[in-house]
Amino acid sequence: MKTAYTKTYVIKLFLLELEPENYHIFARGKWKGIQINIIIDTGASHTCLDIDFFKSCEPDAPAIANQGTNVGIGTDQFETHLALITGFKISRFHVHDFQAVLLSLKHINQAYQAARIPEVQCILGSDFFVSYNAIIDFSNQTLTVQL
């Protein structure tokens, strides 16, 4: 009986305390040769890229209007697009082509700027965690994924 080969990657996470008892989890990645900051968000349904960042890296890339339901804390009235993302890397883990939601992360980055936290370009959502059997280990501050 053949056993499926699985490669495991362990990605370092960064736990930032925004206020007492208020944490956000980050990873570092790279896309199009540019270092990016990534929020780890298990409550997000989909992986998202900041639309302005996307357009600055891929000005001619097609982005189609998202006809799906947009649900976010505070509002569901925001515009999103979909795009195929290639060449995305988190630590040593190369993420193969995947569809991401493009939306403005300005409100998040404004809050981070006030807290003196570097701006983010990406939110990893549950679609990523399910696809790669992800495990978040808070005690070791790692994200383990399998390909």
Within a domain: residue 1?
no
Is residue 54 in a domain? yes
Q: Please report the sign of the dihedral spanned by the C-alpha atoms of residue 84, residue 85, residue 86, residue 92.
A: negative
Q: Convert the pLDDT of each residue in 28-87 to its tens digit.
A: 999 999 999 999 999 999 999 999 999 999 888 777 777 655 445 445 556 788 999 999
The number of folded domains in the chain is 1
Check: CB of residue 99 under 8 Å from CB of residue 83. yes
- Is 15 among the domain residues? yes
Residue 129: give the domain boundaries: 8-146
84-137 pLDDT tens trace:
999 999 999 999 889 999 999 999 999 899 888 999 999 999 999 999 999 999
Q: Per the domain annotation, does 29 fall within a domain?
A: yes
Say what the pLDDT of residue 76 is. 53
Q: Does residue 90 form part of some domain?
A: yes
- DSSP code of residue 55: H
With respect to residue 2, please indicate whether it lies within any of the assigned structural domains.
Answer: no
Instruction: Give the C-alpha separation, 71 to 16, whole Å.
Output: 25
On whether residue 3 sits in a domain, the answer given is no
Q: Is the pLDDT of residue 12 over 60?
A: yes
Residue partners of 105: CB distance under 8 A and separation at least 6: 48, 50, 53, 119, 120, 121, 123
Task: State residue 40's pLDDT score.
Answer: 97
Q: Please indicate, yes or no, if residue 14 is contained in any of the structural domains.
A: yes
CATH classification of the domain holding 42 = 2.40.70.10
First to last CA, the chain: 20
CA neighbours within 13 Å on the CB side: how many for 112?
A: 18
